[in-house]
Amino acid sequence: MSILDEHREALARLERESRIRWLVPRNGRDFSSNDYLGLANARELREAVRKALDRDVAIGAGGSRLLRGNDPEHEALEQEAAAFFGSESALFFANGFTANSSLFAALPNRHDLIVYDALIHASVHDGMRLSFAEKKQAAHNDPQAFEDAIAAWRAAGGKGRVWIAVESLYSMDGDKSPIAALAEIADRHEACLVIDEAHAAGVFGAEGRGLAAELADRDNVIRLVTCGKALGCEGALLLGPKVIVDMLVNTGRGFVFSTAPSPLMAAAVRTSLSMIRRPQRRERLQHLITAATKAIGVNSGSQIIPVIIGDDAETMRIATTLQKLGFDVRGIRPPTVPRGTSRLRVSITLNVDEADIAALGVQLRALCG
């Protein structure tokens, strides 16, 4: 059997299991994107890009940040982001996946322990695979499970640093992390708490600063804010103490050996940060979340509403039907979510209105019973 035949068989197996993935063009009313505040196509961001081009901001960086790719726009964004999010320092990455994987591959050492939430993002798992630190999984959103994992490791002779990896708002369930309790655990064990704010920044917190904004100035907290979701742009900002940023500039392989993000995108993110300060979009989104909770009958407490179907094939059948009806709803299957929890991930954004939400609710009730 040739290597191509092996891959054809692997794809055929995925199709038999109703787990094949394919690219689907965006079409219909947006109930699947992470453009929560509707900024991705906002006139003000378009104008910011035009103005940046007029002042000769480069489209491409031309190299890694440590070579010739370090642009004044990168540095200006990092300074403004650190000030806005209340951290000592910030580092701009090409995307959140690279930021997460670089951090966990570089910072925890072979004597350390990483305790991670059971539903932590794939990017953290990839970073942990490259780390020599010991890893322990904790039950989802269960502070006692984190406490017990740390205590068991110490009792077995663990002497190094503990790293706690969580998301402030989980991307497939839409539920919020018990941040305050986890921060107390981190303080008690002199641990470093790493919080991925990808789906919370821009939507929650004072002026959209995220669910963990009150922890921003702690020296044992690192936060990640992605720029391609509520901020409507591209890239990611790692926020924390300057010594952490300096370490990643020196040892974060995803930063050191990658071409720098577009300076033009850095300019766009700077404008986006000024836009999310204003309350109108967040208030409008909260109004739509309330409407969606009522129409769909699921209360996640956020703009991400999971409609659990369970069966993989049935999930995709319903998603395809909804798409044909003009609702861009996507089905999510293992391994993205645990086996037996395939679902429709309904995302509420400012790209829809109350009438769209009500119409989707009617179709969901008809299709899901």
Q: 69 and 177 in one domain?
A: yes
Q: 87 and 208 in one domain?
A: yes
Strands (E), 241-349: 304-310, 327-328, 330-332, 342-347
Torsion over CA: 336, 341, 344, 345 (sign): negative
pLDDT recorded at residue 91 = 98
Does the pLDDT at position 340 exceed 90? yes
Q: How many residues does the chain have?
A: 369
pLDDT recorded at residue 207 = 97
Does the pLDDT at position 369 exceed 90? no
Q: What is the pLDDT of residues 140-194, one digit of tens each?
A: 999 999 999 999 999 999 999 999 999 999 999 999 999 999 999 999 999 999 9
Is 35 part of any domain?
no
pLDDT recorded at residue 352 = 98
Domain boundary among 258, 276, 294: 276
> Is residue 121 annotated as a catalytic residue, yes or no?
yes
Mean pLDDT of 254-272: 97
pLDDT recorded at residue 2 = 87
Domain boundary among 253, 276, 299: 276
Q: What count of Cα atoms within 13 Å lies in the side-chain half-sphere of residue 25?
A: 4
> Is residue 229 annotated as a catalytic residue, yes or no?
yes
pLDDT recorded at residue 66 = 97
Q: 237 and 105 in one domain?
A: yes
Q: What is the pLDDT of residues 95-112, one digit of tens each?
A: 999 999 999 999 999 999
> Is residue 73 annotated as a catalytic residue, yes or no?
no
* Residue 176 belongs to domain with CATH number: 3.40.640.10
* Alpha helix positions (H), 57-111: 72-85, 96-106
Exactly one of 35, 71, 196, 234 is catalytic; which is it?
A: 196
Domain boundary among 276, 296, 323: 276
Is 303 part of any domain?
yes
Q: 286 and 263 in one domain?
A: no
Exactly one of 95, 112, 121, 258 is catalytic; which is it?
A: 121
Q: 85 and 203 in one domain?
A: yes
pLDDT recorded at residue 178 = 98
Is 127 part of any domain?
yes
Q: What is the pLDDT of residues 239-253, one digit of tens each?
A: 999 999 999 999 999
Exactly one of 74, 135, 189, 229 is catalytic; which is it?
A: 229
Q: 309 and 234 in one domain?
A: no
Q: 348 and 214 in one domain?
A: no
How many domains does the chain fold into? 2
Q: What is the DSSP letter of 302?
A: S
Q: 301 and 261 in one domain?
A: no
Q: 47 and 88 in one domain?
A: yes
pLDDT recorded at residue 127 = 97
> Is the distance from CB of 238 to CB of 93 less than 8 angstroms?
yes
> Is residue 125 annotated as a catalytic residue, yes or no?
no
Nearest residue to 337 via CA among 98, 173, 129, 137: 173
108: preceding bond cis by omega (within 30 degrees): no
Q: What is the pLDDT of residues 275-286, one digit of tens each?
A: 999 999 999 999
Nearest residue to 211 via CA among 232, 233, 193, 234: 193
Strands (E), 35-133: 89-93, 113-117
pLDDT recorded at residue 3 = 86
> pLDDT-based confidence at 307, cuts 50/70/90?
very high
> Is residue 142 annotated as a catalytic residue, yes or no?
no
At residue 25, φ and ψ (nearest 5 deg) are: -60, 150
Q: 317 and 268 in one domain?
A: no
pLDDT higher at 369 or 216: 216
Exactly one of 199, 258, 351, 356 is catalytic; which is it?
A: 199
pLDDT recorded at residue 26 = 87
For residue 58, give its domain range.
43-276
Nearest residue to 122 via CA among 164, 183, 177, 172: 172
Amino acid in position 131: S
Distance of CA 271 to the CA centre of its chain: 20
Nearest residue to 285 via CA among 267, 305, 266, 269: 305
Mean pLDDT of 60-83: 97
Exactly one of 32, 34, 258, 342 is catalytic; which is it?
A: 34
- Looking at every residue in the chain, the average pLDDT score rounds to 96
Is 3 part of any domain?
no
Q: 207 and 195 in one domain?
A: yes
Q: What is the pLDDT of residues 76-97, one digit of tens each?
A: 999 999 999 999 999 999 999 9
Strands 113-117 and 162-167: parallel
Mutual angle of helices 354-368 and 312-324, in 10-degree steps: 140
pLDDT recorded at residue 361 = 97
Mean pLDDT of 38-57: 97
> Is residue 171 annotated as a catalytic residue, yes or no?
yes
Mean pLDDT of 212-236: 97
Does the pLDDT at position 366 exceed 80? yes
> pLDDT-based confidence at 230, cuts 50/70/90?
very high
Longest dimension (CA), the chain: 61
CB proximity list for 269: less than 8 A, separation 6 or greater: 77, 81, 92, 227, 231, 233, 234, 235, 237
Exactly one of 30, 112, 147, 167 is catalytic; which is it?
A: 167
Is 120 part of any domain?
yes
pLDDT recorded at residue 1 = 74
> pLDDT-based confidence at 341, cuts 50/70/90?
very high
> Is residue 196 annotated as a catalytic residue, yes or no?
yes
Measured CA to CA, the distance from residue 308 to residue 80 in angstroms comes to 40
State the virtual CA torsion across 117, 84, 249, 68 in degrees, nearest 10.
140
